[in-house]
Amino acid sequence: MVPLKYILFSLRARWVGSLMTVLGTALVVWASVLAFGLSAGLDHTLEVSGEPLDVIILRTGATAETNSVITEDVARQIATLAGVATDPSGTGTPLCSPELIVIVNSSRRADGSNANVILRGTTPISRQLRKDFRIVEGSDIHPGVRDAITSRTMARRFKSAGLGEEIDVLGSKFRIVGMFEAGQGAAESEIWTDLKVLGQAAKRTGSVSSVQLRATSADAQRTLIDRLEHDEQFSLKAVTEPQYFADQATAGVAIKFVGRAIALFLTIGAMFAVANTMFGAVASRAREIGTLRAIGFSRRAVLASFLFESLLLCLVGGIIGCLGTLPLNGLSTGTANWATFSEITFAFRFSTTVLVEALLLAVLMGLLGGLYPAVRATRMKIVDALREI
């Protein structure tokens, strides 16, 4: 093996080319991590939204709450079914909440562009059915009043969602009075208000969009789903909450595809850049290569040294690229949820898996980009190499 000291000295001697290769690799890895982090953040938001024992009930044939209608009479009957869990405080109130979805248009703060936002009519039980729900600023809504609450992420993204601001629903103004958190789940992409007040404002009294309930056990959940779907009294669509959000992950598939495609094209470009750098190294060091071979270093040793140089440059670039994304970890963004035709907010999530994937990408760049130049170096005849100037 060629001494490591010699390899490092060679990189320092060609510091301009080495630096350009490192920076190019860092930029590719940085962009790739952003794309991977977007996908991971959306996946995380949808995954944490699903409670294992919760069931979401929709109209038969509906694909989401936004295109579902259930009468209030049926919603009340669902709450009386055996197997529905009750309030753990001992009041005996069923953990079953009819909810109404209204899509409203709002402007983004960043550029003034418009997006659809979910306004959800809720009941007090809605809070118990969302993971880690809590009011973090201001107050909760008051029943019978046109109050609304939302998340800080929504308040930062939309002009009408800040504390004290108002959102319009068919001419009725709902005032934002509080901010909530819900375990980073999909609820943080919504604005909540009182169910009855929203029904009156949207002229949709007598019906709801969906019913959400919590079963007492996994067996009770299966029994409830079977009855809700097959009993002629109901004939509704009932799915577990994790499955409901898994079905909504179509936006995540698009982001993953685009992200991987971008990473692929950038990687191909970076490989050519690495190969160009290593070809330059081979051309300028022909006499050194000949000397190494003349004093006894094997072809394999020369091949290994050039590959090591390439891998080292790309790995350093990969580490710099990963470090450059860390300030963006947790930064909120959003995309269209094509299942509900509304905006879903989430945060960049640069997990260990994402960073490891990016570093492996850098290693791949170094390996494929440096392989052919390294092989070319080993094929140089000793005599011809020693004659190079």
Backbone angles phi and psi of 191, in degrees to 5: -115, 130
- Whether the CB-CB separation of 266 and 28 falls below 8 Å is answered with yes
State the pLDDT at residue 29: 87
- Whether the CB-CB separation of 279 and 374 falls below 8 Å is answered with no
Judged by average pLDDT, the poorest of 27-36, 172-181, 276-285, 307-316 is: 276-285
Q: Which two tokens stand for residue 362?
A: 């850098």
CA distances from 278 to 222, 250, 251, 267, 374 (A): 62, 42, 40, 16, 8
| Higher-pLDDT residue of 86, 347 | 86
Amino acid found at 88: P
Terminal-to-terminal C-alpha distance of the chain: 25
Exposure pattern of 64-82 as b/e (b: 16+ CB <10 Å)?
A: bbbebebebebbeebbebe
Answer whether residue 341 shows pLDDT above 60.
Answer: yes
Judged by average pLDDT, the poorest of 25-39, 96-110, 112-126, 129-143 is: 25-39
- Whether the CB-CB separation of 338 and 42 falls below 8 Å is answered with no
State the pLDDT at residue 103: 92
Secondary structure letter of residue 218 according to DSSP: H
Domain ranges in the chain are 4-47+250-387, 60-235
Q: CA-CA distance, 326 to 29, in Å (whole number)? A: 12
Answer whether residue 386 shows pLDDT above 70.
Answer: no
pLDDT tens, residue by residue, 44-62: 787 778 899 999 999 999 9
Confidence bin at 283 (pLDDT 50/70/90): low
The mean per-residue pLDDT over the stretch 342-358 comes to 83
| Higher-pLDDT residue of 248, 350 | 350
Judged by average pLDDT, the poorest of 13-17, 126-130, 291-295, 303-307 is: 291-295
Altogether, the residues listed in the chain come to a count of 389
The mean per-residue pLDDT over the stretch 346-364 comes to 85
Confidence bin at 252 (pLDDT 50/70/90): low
Positive or negative CA dihedral for 327, 328, 329, 331?
A: positive
- Whether the CB-CB separation of 138 and 117 falls below 8 Å is answered with no
Answer whether residue 15 shows pLDDT above 60.
Answer: yes
Percent of the chain exceeding pLDDT 90 equals 41
Q: How many other β-carbons are positioned within 10 Å of the β-carbon of residue 91?
A: 7
| Higher-pLDDT residue of 194, 90 | 194
Answer whether residue 250 shows pLDDT above 60.
Answer: yes
pLDDT tens, residue by residue, 105-129: 888 888 888 889 999 999 999 999 9
The mean per-residue pLDDT over the stretch 143-153 comes to 93
State the pLDDT at residue 193: 96
State the pLDDT at residue 381: 66
User: Could you tell me which of 154, 150, 147 has the C-alpha nearest to residue 108?
Assistant: 154
